[in-house]
A and B are shown apart, each in its own frame.
Chain A
Amino acid sequence: MSYRSLAFELFPFLPPLFVSEEQRLLHVRYERYTSTMAEERRPKQCTVVLPTESMKAMAESIGVGQLQEESCAALSEEVSYRIKEIAQDALKFMHHGKRCKLTTSDIDHALKLKNVEPLYGFQSQEFIPFRFASGGGRELHFYEEKEVDLSDIINTPLPRVPLDVSLKAHWLSIEGVQPAIPENPPPAPKEQQKTESTEPLKAVKPGQEEEGSIQKGQGATSAEAKGKKDGLMRMKPRSTHELSVEQQLYYKEITEACVGSCEAKRAEALQSIATDPGLYQMLPRFSTFISEGVRVNVVQNNLALLIYLMRMVKALMDNPTLYLEKYLHELIPAVVTCIVSKQLCLRPDVDNHWALRDFAARLMAQSCKTFSTTTNNIQSRITKTFTKVYNKCWLDDKTQWTTRYGCIAGLSELGPDVIKTLILPRLTVEGARIKAVSDGPVVSNIDKIGADHVQSLLLKHCASVIAKARPLPDNVEQYRADYGYLGPMLCSHVVKARAQAALQAQQVNRTTLTITQPRPTLTVSQSGIGGSGGSRTASIIKVPSSLTLMSTRPGTPTQLSPPATKYIVMATSSGSSSTQQVLWMASICKISRTLKLSSSAVANSAVDMMKLALMRTATGKGDPELPLLQRISSLELPASEIAAQINA
């Protein structure tokens, strides 16, 4: 509740309440009133009154020139009291209106109670901002009312008609269990997931015993004992290692869609991963799926699959209800692999694996930003990893350009500071190496391409940093001296960057936001502020799922879907099963090679395979048959194209 706006609201009718010493009854038209409102900020100190300057200013605004100090004091006390009184009444209306926010209509109603004519013209505005101005030696708050051009209002298209009130029914709880449907909040909020993972002793779940830690085991036994002692104690739902049948189906569908051939389905699946609130139970499986998938596909050099998996990682990171910290140990290696691996595709000269490296590097940077804490130190550890490789490749000329590219990309996404301290000093060495490749004897085409990419990457990232750090002027020779072979090119880039910065500086009012990662945010734009009453546009409900809620038929939900009672305990994906999968993978690859299938198809089948294996182990049905070869769907999209898509 904004007391400021409230108090502001009150001003126009305050004058009639004034009983000044001059016995003047002041009647005023609404104009601009000024006041500094520090009132009722602290609930305890209710003796706060308006400053007398406000009274003076108000009096001036209605043409009363010389108001004596005592009159001002008396007035301000009276006015403060009346304001408080009306505010108290208005609160009643707020409470009965079942709101937590005081609105202007509440004040109108409170005025009505006091037989004061309500204030007209403030109905629509949600928030009335106070502007701050100074002039004439004192600071003034005033309400900014812009002049409205009628023709503008007439010419603008009418806003959409607000949707009518409708009724929608859903099950909040079925026999005491809250179903995980979009209408309900996520079953385990992020906070809870966090406490569960960080303080295992407090909320020990029987499923955690399998992890074998002594501490946890003890905790579990004590909890069990407690449970026995108190029969009524409600056990926390087992969340880690069991999936209901529906969840298993969902998992299967989602993973298949994510790595399948249909792009539309994939988009849908990723959207679901990024928004669905009830995924936390499946999170361990997703993370295993991704890490295993990367492990296999790096070996298979299946670029497309790697891209899909990275997109899954991104979707998981975008989901606000998931507590990913617990699974970073699986996800980060997978992502780093996609950044620095020597080879990510079968034809490094043709396929755009660079895009994947860039994408993964951005993912890495994002996760560093979100998850790095003083205890896990992700950022510094990641930086160290990159520099280690980088150092090595600096020493060792045999290091692949691809890896070098990955390291540089990974580092440079971490921010200008990292670039400054870790990359800029190496520019000379890198320049020399690039020069050696481009000017030297004809080596393989792949090296040449790699060197080109590294060069453009370095230029791209370093130029902006240098532009900020390095003082003018930009002298080519100086640059050459400082940065070696790359110097002249850097110089031109820096000049360009500077020009661009200057251009941006000219557009003063626009704040430019550089978003490295376009997030799938849904923005609701509202038009028509100004005099026309801004809130007339129907603001669309922001939750996408609720757009489907608009069925006009209220009705009771017709059937009670039975609560998921059937649980199947899944074996943990311990070492044995994963090696098994890898074995299957290998066998599949062998088969596919003999069949001369395209690489992507192989990868597809491999992943399918793995999924199936996971499912099998999940459902406890042993011996995996291999009917997959029939199901191998041909993957038409070449990997480069998909990479381009990601880039776009």
Chain B
Amino acid sequence: MAAVQDGQLNLEVEKDIKTEITNDGSGNINANSSSPGSTSSGGKSKSPAGSGEDQQTLLAVLQFLKRNKLTESVDILRREAGLSADADDSPVSESAGAGSGGVPSVGADGGDANSLLSRVSIATPVAPPDCGLDSHGGLATPIYFHSSNNCACTVVAASGGEDQPDVNVVLSAYSQQGDPVLYPLYYNGLKKFIESVLDCHRAELSQVFYPLFVHMYLELVYNNHENEAKQFFEKFSGDQECYYEEDLRILSSMSKKEHMKGNETMLDFRTSKFVLRISRDSYQLLKRHLQERQNNQIWNIIQEHLYIDIFDGMPRSKSQIDAMSGSLAGEGKRDANKAKVFYGLLKEPEIEVPLDDEDEEAENEEGKPKKKKPKKDSMGSKSKKQDPNAPQQTRIPLPELKDSDKLDKIMNMKEATKKIRLGPDNLPSICFYSFLNAYQGLTAVDFTDDSSLIAGGFADSTVRVWSVTPKKLRRVKSAADLSNIDKESDDVLERIMDEKTASESKILYGHSGPVYGISFSPDRNYLLSSSEDGTVRLWSLQTFTCLVGYKGHNYPVWDTQFSPYGYYFISGGHDRVARLWATDHYQPLRMFAGHLADITCTLFHPNSNYVATGSADRTIRLWDVLTGNCVRILTGHKGPIHSLAFSPNGKFMASGATDGRVLLWDAFDDVELDDFTAATGHIHLPENSQELLLGTYMTKSTPVIHLHFTRRNLLLAAGAYNP
């Protein structure tokens, strides 16, 4: 089923992209048609290099022109080329000419079409699949998706990474090439030009450098110009922004065509278009320059591998660009971030709080019984009002509240009244939980929401659970013992527990690799853990056994998290696909594909309708659980993202990455204004963000792995003591 859908989808989108290219090319059409001589002279200059290469270049140009129905220039070009390579060229041009007659046909050129196809299949999620069939399926399924297993798996796209359709096909797009000796000249020419343009355009145009550099280098490598590639790299790698250093290192190690096969970074570059946002003025400048210089090599790369998002308005400044750049595939496209996000919270179910209890509490806590009541009222009224930004209550089906959940909610509300208001003058107390003797390596920690349990995942593939309250961890009695219990008695829930096994900590064995992600269910009955062995495991905290091993990721699963309402959970890992699961399905309900590198962290939005994933491709994506679409691509980090957090009201998100920065995002409103030069998506902290830093607390020798605010706003931290 999935495969079929996939196929249809690919076709659909492929068409989309084709038309898109046609539109895109309009600038190019002018360029080529207005100066046909330039093309030919380029061809001439290349002719000594070798007829084979020459021919290929010509072919590519011809194809391009034909695709754009520029028969005139095709003719001119063919005439020009005919002078040098008449005999070889004619059959090709004939076949191409046949193609050019009608609508650009898929079969025009086998290799090219295939490469396009393969590219599309990867790039699909970038352009949200707007085909009716798919979205319809997405709409229909979720309502039933706990019952219907087959439709549940709305695979949005083929997975990325390892199972690339055919590497050779992908790579073949690099076969068109020019004289390797000229590459540095081209690049230098462009560099000189960009350095000489007006300051206001320079920053924008400088964005072109990095993707151009990468693609030129890859072309050189692909065409076996190893030495030229090396020289090219040495000459210009220093010019690139420092935050690309990591990628450059990978690139530089790649010096042979054989290396390109199976190199993920390379495929990322190849299969996804690098997205740049450039103002119309700057773009015109660039275009004119390339046109004047007849710099077809660069122009081709820009056409083939870059997606230039042109906007009207003031060119952006360097700092604006820097705030957004840094990701593996450029910035998010404008229309990728257009979808509406319902970031409001769901309405809290109305629970009658037993009043006498409250009063007792109030009496116990003398001094402020008066203050508390209005506060409570305000809270109540707030939850009654429907947030305009909130999704519909039934947008995705959520599990019904059980009695125990209601009790928990009541507890939660009670605790919330005791919450300490924090501020710069009122800093939280921090309680630090050190894991001692964790020689095997602590890799993940999670606290339950009520801070009664701590779970740690270890590199020796164990999961350990501690109780931090005096209540010990007890396991349910065995089946034989359970049958002896009087089921009618009032304290049956107590009786089923085995007192003999009570202890402060329990060890869960089952994984066969380091445990990288761990998450408690909100009702504290389950624990999720994800591991290097490619599985996510669900553990029962009643029996302390493994209930399910969810298999789907074939590679290490870096993170997993329960939905705030339970039942659903999300996992993401090395295979670049995030999967949404329900605990009672052994197959994923949704697969979110689109990241270009490992998914390093996953997080549910507080209203459970959205999922955020952070990745080593230095982007954060927000996915809609209902449709499976990517609704936001947030760029700006300069290193792999390693942690995410939503604000409790769901409006903001914070992300931390290895670039040492924490970015705060306010990107869920309609960010896309026309004048989006100002809207970077993330909140700009004042220059001196040190002023926002309220306190630094050093540990002795303990890396902090996890942080958690309790309901009363006490901050809990955890890490392994590392003497």
Measured CB to CB, the residues of A under 8 A from B are 43, 46-47, 77-78, 80-81, 84-85, 88, 92-93, 95-99, 105, 109, 113, 162-176, 178, 183-185, 232, 535, 538, 541-543, 546, 549-550, 552-557, 560
Which positions 452-466 of chain B face chain A at CB distance < 8 Å? 454, 456, 458-459, 464, 466
Q: Which of B459, B467, B695, B703 has the most CB of A within 10 A?
A: B459
- Residues of chain A with a CB closer than 8 A to B598's CB: 92
On whether the beta carbons of A165 and B435 are closer than 8 Å, the reply is: yes
Complex Cα–Cα for A543 and B233 (A): 50
16 A-B pairs with C-beta separation under 8 A: A46-B249, A109-B532, A113-B574, A165-B437, A165-B440, A167-B466, A168-B721, A169-B434, A170-B434, A172-B431, A172-B432, A176-B428, A541-B721, A546-B723, A555-B469, A557-B431
Query: Cβ of A166: which chain B residues have Cβ within 8 Å of it?
Result: 435-437
Q: Which residue of B lies closest to A563 (CB)?
A: B429
B300 interface contact, C-beta 8 A: no
Q: How distant is A297 from chain B, measured CB to nearest CB, in Å?
A: 38
Q: Is B642 an interface residue when CB atoms closer than 8 A count as contact?
A: yes
CB of A185 within 8 A of CB of B700, answer yes
**In the assembled complex, which residues on chain B have CB atoms less than 8 Å from the CB atom of A183?**
432, 434, 700
Is B658 engaged at the interface, CB distance under 8 Å to the other chain?
yes
Instruction: Indicate if the CB atoms of A167 and B459 lie closer than 8 Å.
Output: no
Which of these, A78, A550, A554, contacts B466 with CB under 8 Å? A554
Q: Residues on B close to A: CB < 8 A?
A: 230, 233, 249-250, 252-256, 258-259, 263, 424, 426-443, 454, 456, 458-459, 464, 466-470, 504-505, 513-514, 516, 532, 555-556, 558, 574, 598, 600, 616, 640, 642, 658, 691, 694-695, 697-700, 703, 705, 717, 721, 723
| Docked-complex contact B437 and A164, CB < 8 angstroms | yes
B464 CB contacts on chain A under 8 angstroms: 165
Give bound CA distance, A560 to B712, whole Å: 14
A174 contacts B429, CB within 8 Å? yes
**Choice from A105, A541, A557 contacting B459 with Cβ under 8 Å:** A105
Contact (Cβ within 8 A) B249 A43: yes
Least CB distance from B213 to A in Å reads 15
* A81 x B255 contact (CB < 8 A): yes
Q: B230: nearest residue on chain A (CB-CB)? A: A47
Closest chain-B Cβ to A520's Cβ sits at a distance in Å of: 18
Contact residue among A88, A98, A546, A550 (Cβ-Cβ distance under 8 Å from B442): A98
List the B side residues contacting A175 at CB < 8 Å.
426-429
Query: Do the beta carbons of A184 and B468 come within 8 Å of each other?
Result: no
Task: Say yes or no: A169 contacts B468, CB within 8 Å.
Answer: yes
Contact (Cβ within 8 A) B558 A81: no
Contact of B694 among A176, A185, A560 (CB under 8 A): A176
For A96, the chain B residues whose CB sits under 8 A away are 443, 514, 516, 556, 558, 600
Cβ A97 vs Cβ B433 within 8 A: no
Chain A residues with CB below 8 A from B431, complex form: 169-172, 556-557
Instruction: List chain B residues, Cβ under 8 A from A172.
Output: 430-432, 697, 699, 717
User: Quick one: closest A residue to B427, CB to CB?
Assistant: A176
A167-B434 in contact given A97-B459, A172-B717 (Cβ < 8 Å) = yes
- Chain B interface mostly: loop
| CB-based nearest A residue for B441 | A97
Task: Give Cα A556 to B429, complex, Å.
Answer: 12
B253, B467, B691, B695: residue with the most chain A Cβ atoms closer than 10 Å: B253
Q: Which of A97, A113, A541 is the most central at the interface, judged by chain B CB atoms within 10 Å of its CB?
A: A97
Cα separation A183 to B555 with both chains bound (whole Å): 39
Q: Report the Cα distance A16→B427, complex, angstroms.
A: 58
Write out the residue numbers on chain A whose beta carbons fall within 8 Å of the beta carbon of B442. 98
Decide yes or no: A98 and B470 within 8 Å by CB, A88-B250, A176-B427 being known contacts. Answer: no
**Chain A residue with Cβ nearest B246:** A88
- Say whether B255 contacts A173, CB under 8 Å: no
- With A174-B429, A554-B468 as known contacts, state yes or no: A81 contacts B256, CB within 8 Å: yes
Q: Nearest chain-A residue to B698 (Cβ)?
A: A185
Task: Given A78-B258, A105-B459, A165-B438, output 15 extra A-B contacts at Cβ < 8 Å.
Answer: A47-B233, A81-B254, A85-B253, A98-B705, A109-B513, A167-B435, A167-B466, A171-B429, A172-B717, A175-B427, A178-B698, A183-B700, A185-B699, A555-B470, A556-B431
Of A46, A109, A168, which is within 8 A of B436 by CB?
A168
Q: Which residue on chain B has the smallest CB distance to residue A169?
A: B433
Please pick, from B230, B254, B436, the residue contacting A165 in the complex, using a CB distance under 8 A: B436
Residue of B nearest to A552 (CB): B504
Q: Which residues of B contact A174 (CB under 8 A)?
A: 429
Taken together as a complex, chains A and B put the C-alpha atoms of A88 and B703 apart, in Å, by 23
Contacts of B430 in A (CB 8 A): 171-173
Minimum-distance CB pairs A-B, first 5: A176-B427, A172-B430, A172-B432, A173-B430, A46-B252
What residues of chain B lie closer than 8 Å to A164, measured between beta carbons? Answer: 437
A47-B255 contact given A95-B640, A98-B443, A167-B454, CB 8 Å threshold? yes
- Bound-state CA distance A555–B514 (Å) is 26
Provide the bound-state CA to CA distance between A318 and B505, in Å.
40
* CB within 8 Å for A92 and B616 given contacts A164-B437, A167-B466, A173-B697: yes
A543 to B699, CA, bound (A): 14
* Nearest-Cβ distance from residue B209 to partner chain A, whole angstroms: 18
A168 vs B434: C-alpha distance in the bound complex, in angstroms?
5
B694 partner residues in chain A, CB cutoff 8 A: 176
Q: Give the nearest-CB partner of A553 in chain B.
A: B504
Q: How distant is B452 from chain A, measured CB to nearest CB, in Å?
A: 10
CA distance A168 to B435 in the complex (A): 6
Contact A542 B429, CB 8 Å, known A46-B253, A173-B695, A232-B424: no
Chain A nearest CB from B244 CB (Å) reads: 13
From A113, A163, A185, A554, contact of B433 by CB (8 A): A554
Contact A47 B252 (CB under 8 A): yes
Q: Considering the complex, give the chain A residue whose CB is closest to the CB of B695.
A: A176
Q: Are A98 and B703 in contact (CB under 8 A)?
A: yes
Q: With A and B bound together, what is the CA distance between A169 and B436 in angstroms?
A: 10
Cα(A46)–Cα(B253), bound, Å? 6
**Do the beta carbons of B436 and A162 come within 8 Å of each other?**
no
- The answer for the CA separation of A171 and B699 in the assembled complex, in Å, is 10
* Known contacts A172-B431, A549-B436; is-contact A556 B424 (Cβ 8 Å): no
Report A-chain residues with C-beta under 8 Å of the C-beta of B556.
93, 96, 109, 113
A85–B466 CA distance with the chains assembled, in angstroms: 39
Question: Is there an interface contact between A97 and B514, defined as CB atoms closer than 8 Å?
Answer: yes
| Docked complex Cα distance between A541 and B722 (Å) | 9
Q: Is the CB of A93 within 8 A of B697?
A: no
Inter-chain contact A541/B436, CB cutoff 8 Å: yes
How many angstroms between the C-alpha atoms of A55 and B700 in the bound complex?
Answer: 46
Q: A176-B694, A178-B697 are in contact. Are A554 and B514 (CB under 8 A)?
A: no
Q: What B residues does A93 contact at CB under 8 A?
A: 514, 532, 556
How far is the CB of B450 from the nearest CB of chain A, in Å? 12
> Which residue from chain A places its CB closest to the CB of B658 in the assembled complex?
A95
Tell me which residues across on chain A come within 8 A of B705, comparing CB atoms. Answer: 98
Cβ A77 vs Cβ B256 within 8 A: yes
Contacts of B434 in A (CB 8 A): 167-170, 183, 549
Point out the residues of chain B lying under 8 angstroms from A557, CB to CB.
431
- Chain B nearest CB, measured from A202 CB (Å): 16
A538 CA to B252 CA in the complex, in Å?
43
The closest CB in chain B to the CB of A105 belongs to: B459
Q: How far is the CA of A47 from the CA of B470 in the complex (A)?
A: 59
Docked-complex contact B443 and A542, CB < 8 angstroms: no
**CA of A355 to CA of B52 in the docked complex: distance in angstroms?**
95
- Contacts of B429 on A, CB cut-off 8 Å? 171, 173-175, 560
Residues of B contacting A84 with CB < 8 Å? 253
Chain B residues near A552 (CB, 8 Å)?
504
User: Which one of A163, A164, A166 has the greatest number of beta carbons of chain B within 10 Å?
Assistant: A166
User: In the assembled complex, how far is the CB of residue A97 from the closest CB belonging to chain B, in whole angstroms?
Assistant: 5
Complex alpha-carbon distance, A432 and B649, angstroms? 92
Once bound together, how far apart are the Cα atoms of A546 and B250, in whole Å? 43
8 Å CB contact of A85 from B263, B435, B721: B263
B residues less than 8 Å from A92 (CB atoms): 574, 598, 616
A184→B454 contact, CB < 8 A:
no
> What is the CB-to-nearest-CB distance from A18 to chain B, in angstroms, rounded to a whole number?
13
**Please, which residues of chain B bring their CB within 8 A of the CB of A95?**
640, 642, 658
